[in-house]
Structure 1
Amino acid sequence: MTRKIALITGGSRGLGKNAALKLAKNNSDIILTYRTQQQEAQAVVQEIEALGARAVALPLDVADSSSFAAFVAEVKNQLRTHWQRESFDYLLNNAGIGIHASFEETSEEQFDQLVNIHFKGPFFLTQKLLPLLVNGGRILNVSSGLARFSLPGYSAYAAMKGAMEVLTRYQAKELGARGIAVNIIAPGAIETDFGGGSVRDNAQLNAFVASQTALGRVGLPDDIGDAIALILSDESGWINAQRIEVSGGMFL
């Protein structure tokens, strides 16, 4: 079986790293991006290679759309060098940050940062990468349970995720002619370092989330990585234009 190639933004830590490792176990080679943590990214590359897959790590700031043309050129170069290919199969728009601020106190600077990283970046990066994505490929965007339910302090962040959910349907509609399926995954609260690691490290918050989740616990990175590997597989090829929440049943 020919191995697929998955491009994962923000693949040096957290959910992106977990997804990279799960996809590597699931017959995919990996191109992952990092913003500043080159050593972390190279360590992930070594973990992937230990699984028998090939991987490269490339720097990328998804908030800086002016850098995308050069990044795409480097992806093309890496595909030729390492895989003797002109294209890749899966795109996972995972890179992101968390900003906790009330609606009343959210600054324009915070808002712009969230727009650039969570909406403008994925919009134009995906656009620039389309010539390298195979016909019949798959795009998976990342939303949040916060786009469905509301918790104080996440209005701007959740609004960007809501925009990504709408964009996902339009991408699926417009890219369907190329056989490209586009979906969006919406994790619930997960024990990672995201947003300062509060869900993982704050015992009171962790217990509250578990009490509000049908399956009775907080999500783990493996829960999301497994779901991503499932969606980015040939067996899920007829799933398209869907928001798939992976939260264990939060706030039902």
Structure 2
Amino acid sequence: MGSLTGKTALVTGASRGIGRAIAQRLAADGALVAVHYGTNHAAAQETTDHIITNGGRAFPLHAPLGASHSVTGLYAELDSRLSQFGEPPALHILVNNAGFHIPGTISDITPDDFDRLIDIHARTPLFLIQHALPRMPSGGRIINVTSVTTRIAHPTALAYTMAKAALQSLTQALAKDLGPRRITINNVAPGYTRTDLNRHRWDTPEEEAKTAGHSVFNRIADPSDIADVTAFLASHNSRWITGQTIDASGGTHL
């Protein structure tokens, strides 16, 4: 049996990239995984099919995120899908991964861009956690996917970095409150990773070499590199770690 057998996990933004890799890894460890997606049903179904083909359990979960959408609606849909599996409306692992990137310096970032970034990367995880806690049993796990940009100077990703930094602060602020319930909450901060979001950084040999050179390992991360760190934080083995940011950037810009 896997280390997460009997656990239910919700991974937001799990249709592609890092979220897909996390969903697949948690399922491989035994969890029943809700593969959340906002718009791309085909990609979410592909993630789900891959998990099932490899002996895991998963289902796609459609729910747009943001201020104009209901977090309670997401959890109502989750409960409905869990009942189809004969599972109680409990959530043991929440991975806040959904996100996007809008480049912008202090000169060209717009109020609308800023609001959208804060909405998805900070506001939405806050309320996803708020609504998850009543259904999360003792020993639950909350993992927020942030970014190495919070550690390094990245002026072309100003508002994105601010939004991810807010999410990291949320993690630290909640850790003490959740301690009595033995719920851990931690951040995973990736660096450059081989996803569609970062395709421009590796779509030519020259760009790939340049991007790889930022890491001490001289390569770009595979989504599975981030998924493995996340799986550790979701497991019992991480029980003594909370309120922390795990740098999963391959030593970027050390």
Whether the TM-score (by the shorter chain) exceeds 0.5 is yes
CA distance in 1 between counterparts of 2:86 and 2:8 reads 9
Query: Which runs of 5 or more structure 2 residues have no equivalent in the other structure?
Result: none
Kindly, what percent of the aligned residue pairs are identical?
36
Map residues 1-252 of structure 1 onto 2, 5 A cutoff: 1=1, 2-64=5-67, 66-195=69-198, 197-252=199-254
Preserved CA contact (<8 Å) 1:62 1:122? no
Letter in 2 for 1:47: H
CA distance in 1 between counterparts of 2:54 and 2:136 reads 24
Letter in 1 for 2:243: A
Deviation string 1:116-144 (CA, Å, 9 cap, x unpaired) is 11011111111112112222100000110
Give how far 1:93 is off.
0.1
Give how far 1:203 is off.
3.5
* Corresponding residue SS for 2:154: coil
CA distance in 2 between counterparts of 1:187 and 1:203 reads 22
Provide TM-score, normalisation by structure 1. Answer: 0.95
Which consecutive segments of 4 or more residues in structure 1 shift more than 3 A?
202-205
What's the C-alpha RMSD, in Å, of the aligned pairs?
Answer: 1.4
Relative to structure 1, the CA distance from residue 65 to residue 178 in structure 2 (aligned partners, 3 Å threshold; closer, same or farther) is: farther
Deviation string 1:70-99 (CA, Å, 9 cap, x unpaired) is 111121222222142120210000000011
Deviation string 1:146-195 (CA, Å, 9 cap, x unpaired) is 00001231000001111111110111111112110000000011111115
Letter in 2 for 1:40: A
Letter in 2 for 1:231: L
Give how far 1:199 is off.
2.0
CA distance in 1 between counterparts of 2:89 and 2:120 reads 27
CA distance in 2 between counterparts of 1:189 and 1:51 reads 28
Give how far 1:209 is off.
2.5
Give how far 1:111 is off.
0.5
CA distance in 1 between counterparts of 2:180 and 2:204 reads 47
